[in-house]
Amino acid sequence: MSGKDKKNKSSATPPESIYVNRELSWLAFNRRVLLEAADPKVPLLERLKFLMIYQSNLEEFYRVRIGILTHRALLAPDKPDPVSGMMPEAQIKEALRITREQQTLMENIWKEIREELHANKVDVLDFRKISKVDELMSKKLFGDIRDLLMPQIIDQNQPVPFLWNGETNIVAFLSRGTEMKLCFIPLHRIPAYQSFEIDGCQKIVLTALLVRHFLPLLLKKETIIQSAIIDVTRNADVFFSSVEDRADDNFRNKISGMLSKRKREMPVRMRIYGKLTDPCRTLLLRKLRAQEERVFTQSVPFDLSFRSAIGLPAEFRYPDRKPARDLGLKKGEYFEYIRKHDLLMSFPFQSMMSFVDLIYEAADNPDVRTIRITLYRMSGSSKVAAALAYAADRGKDVLCLLELRARFDEQNNIDYSEMLEDAGCRVIYGLPEHKVHSKLCVISLQHGEEVSRITQVGTGNYNEVTGEQYTDLSLITAREDVGLEAKEAFEALEKGEIPPEAHALWIAPLSFKPRVLEMLDRELAKGENGRVAIKANAINNREVMEKLIECSQAGVKIELFIRGICSLRPGVTGLTENITVKGVIGRWLEHSRIYSFGEGKDQRLFIGSGDLLNRNLERRVEAFVEAVTPDTREQLNEILEALRNDREKSWRMLPDGTYVREEGGEGTSSQEALYRYFSTRKVSLTEPEPEPPKKPEVPELPQAQAEVPAEQKRTKRGWFRRMFG
């Protein structure tokens, strides 16, 4: 093909058939999660965990994505998806069809897991075929909870009691003369399961099944026609588009009001455990105003949390893999090391407590003046929050930007905003039109009239719990250009403004997509010598995908390591034949983002908080930093190489958009390889000092900051001990 022909081909608009609908791509990802539960090589209790994750993922999908599509179908039914061209109602129908198809697979997997549990002396009691001994023990357990049950009987003309999202209810159909009544029994305040042991066999008794079985004892005076277990999934797409008044209490109150409204949103899905006759089913759906096509009858329990109570030996779980706590630095040595070397940490192979130690070191360092940090999701008992509170208690100016709109963590963040304010931290919130999703922290030090900064940029939240469950990266640097741009970003956020364009940092929405497109153009100019490798959770931005297609057509070799949504089909002749797509599903959730352009000395490597989704590129504040030192670059390349070589836990996307599992690669798991690599890595203060990083072209003259007067320090020691220990 001539250069002219290639140029004409590149400039043509790619056909919509090259793209995969976002929602359907996500369902394909969740199917891969489900298939981990079917893999006999995965330990039994981990298979049960993947089944739990599949169900939890699906609930969130219906609450959020189907909720959004339901609104769109009502408000803009003829507006197509900008990538795939599908209308909202068509997307909903296809999602419902795929969900039913996957449900059959889910039920077969549950049957296999249950049989394997039974073979290993763990019985999830089936009350349809129960022994007399198990019946007697179960009856005693029912007696223990009987007083907690509150049946509510209604006739066909009365309203149904409100069913909270995800709340398991028993519904019974009662006969009173010629009339049928309904009885609802909520179980939300009762433990989901109990257990006992007989002759060395552990018996798991699911509360919903227990109550349903003993309904005649609870409703002695009633004639029970039929019964079932139900729950509803409610729409969670309840967000206001802007907030004019962002005063602290007012904004918190608005978020709290939104949460109350969300609890009562319309159902987008209903599940039934147990078969119902047509008259009973019709009555139930009419009373709940549920659409038949959104009702799923399944034989898998809604709640599988009993997994945590199963007492099987260690071989039924993954081998123990504790994060490495020791990086080779002691408390008090982090600043000295980072002044000379960039530090890259990889979770969960290394412990997030090293970052917590850094905050405590900042709190105790007399030169530290300010700590600024963006917080999106924190654990229930956050050690990061404790360290920030301690720093405020020590007189540091601690600014916490808390994004109250982190979906499903809103209440947790509201609580933390109040706690951190009580501790003496300054708390601000996200922007009206943009969620602040970045993982950015900057610590400012003053030595005489000189100001220096230590900046941390991460791919994942400051959350010690997910820090042991997700693969994430954190880069800490003393580079002056990075610190200055991080400071400027926080100054803009404090004013309620979008951070300005940056170069040492890529900060969305102004600097992320343009820099990505620039880097892709850089590789495009190299033609067949161009190289791109991107590790992210999702991609669906049309502009970026079109640029990737253009690069592929020019011969650029592109590797996409995408865990979840991938709206671009690889390997399509004439369009994406130089693009490959792989995704890893393993014991840890792949969550880190790495962007690599070029190879060898010409390679540019970046990490940060955003995917290539429209929301990350255009409607969120994200932060990225370049890895510039040989050590950090080597580590990121080690991750990419491990992903390339993974043929045990990886899936490959085919040109038709379907996925196949890579085969024949036992022992090539990227996660296991990276655990071995990172868990043994240590750094030392005696390492040779690298060449100093280049200074920005127009260095800013930092303003000296005065010490915080003692009378202004917030000394809440009693509060600190109560909250954080």
Residue of 170, 283, 178, 268 whose CA lies nearest to 228: 170
What tens digit of pLDDT does each residue of 391-422 get? 999 999 999 998 877 666 677 777 888 889 99
Determine which of 148-162, 237-251, 441-455, 460-474 has the lowest per-residue pLDDT on average. Answer: 237-251
Predicted confidence band of residue 189 (pLDDT cuts 50, 70, 90): confident
What tens digit of pLDDT does each residue of 560-574 get? 999 999 999 999 999
Determine which of 347-356, 626-635, 704-713 has the lowest per-residue pLDDT on average. Answer: 704-713
**Residue 175 CA: distances (Å) to CA of 95, 148, 157, 279, 580:** 37, 24, 15, 13, 61
As a whole number of Å, the end-to-end CA separation of the chain is 69
Neighbour order of strands in the sheet with 122-124: 122-124, 201-206, 193-198
Place of tokens 């719990």: 465
In angstroms, the CA 703 to CA 43 distance is 58
Structure tokens at 277: 């006759």
Predicted confidence band of residue 579 (pLDDT cuts 50, 70, 90): very high
User: How high does pLDDT run on average in the chain?
Assistant: 89
Residue of 371, 358, 360, 627 whose CA lies nearest to 490: 371
Residue of 139, 208, 207, 195 whose CA lies nearest to 312: 195
Mean pLDDT (whole number) for 294-305: 96
Whether the CB-CB separation of 227 and 166 falls below 8 Å is answered with no
Query: Could you give the dihedral angle defined by the CA atoms of residues 653, 654, 656 and 661, in that order, rounded to the nearest 10 degrees?
Result: -70
3-class SS of residue 694 = coil
Q: What is the DSSP string of 414-457?
A: HHHHHHHHHTT-EEEE--SS-EE---EEEEEEEETTEEEEEEEE
In angstroms, the CA 75 to CA 64 distance is 16
CB atoms within 10 A of CB 385: 24
Return the percent helix, strand and coil in the chain, to nearest 5: 40, 20, 40
pLDDT above 90 covers what percent of the chain?
Answer: 77
pLDDT on residue 188? 86
Q: Position 134: which residue type? A: D
Tell me whether residue 437 is one of the annotated catalytic residues.
yes
pLDDT at 342 over 70: yes
Compute φ and ψ for 419, nearest 5 degrees. Answer: -65, -45
Predicted confidence band of residue 703 (pLDDT cuts 50, 70, 90): very low
H or E element that contains 590: strand 589-590
Bridge partners of residue 531, in order along the sequence? 557
pLDDT on residue 696? 42
Structure tokens at 445: 């030090």
Non-local (6+) Cβ contacts of 523 within 8 A are: 530, 531, 532, 551, 556, 597, 598
Whether the CB-CB separation of 167 and 191 falls below 8 Å is answered with no
pLDDT at 699 over 60: no
Mean pLDDT (whole number) for 281-285: 94
Torsion sign across C-alpha atoms 198, 203, 207, 211: negative
What tens digit of pLDDT does each residue of 85-123 get? 999 999 999 999 999 999 999 999 999 999 999 999 999
pLDDT on residue 252? 57
pLDDT on residue 254? 57
In angstroms, the CA 416 to CA 400 distance is 10
Neighbour order of strands in the sheet with 295-297: 152-154, 179-186, 169-176, 223-234, 267-273, 295-297
**What's the predicted TM-score (pTM) here?**
0.89
In angstroms, the CA 150 to CA 139 distance is 18
Name the active-site residue from 213, 434, 437, 591: 437
What tens digit of pLDDT does each residue of 606-627 get? 999 999 999 999 999 999 999 9
**Ordered domains of the chain (ranges, CATH):** 14-119 (1.20.58.310), 148-240+269-318 (3.30.1840.10)
Residue 275, Ramachandran bin (φ over 0: left; ψ between -120 and 50: alpha; else beta): beta
Q: Name the maximum alpha-carbon separation found in the chain.
A: 90
Q: What is the DSSP string of 641-684?
A: HHHHH--SSEEEE-TTS-EEE--S-TT--HHHHHHHHHHT----
3-class SS of residue 535 = strand
pLDDT on residue 660? 97
pLDDT on residue 245? 43
512-524 and 542-553 helices, crossing angle to 10°: 10
pLDDT on residue 282? 94
pLDDT on residue 429? 87
What tens digit of pLDDT does each residue of 678-696 get? 999 999 887 666 665 554 4
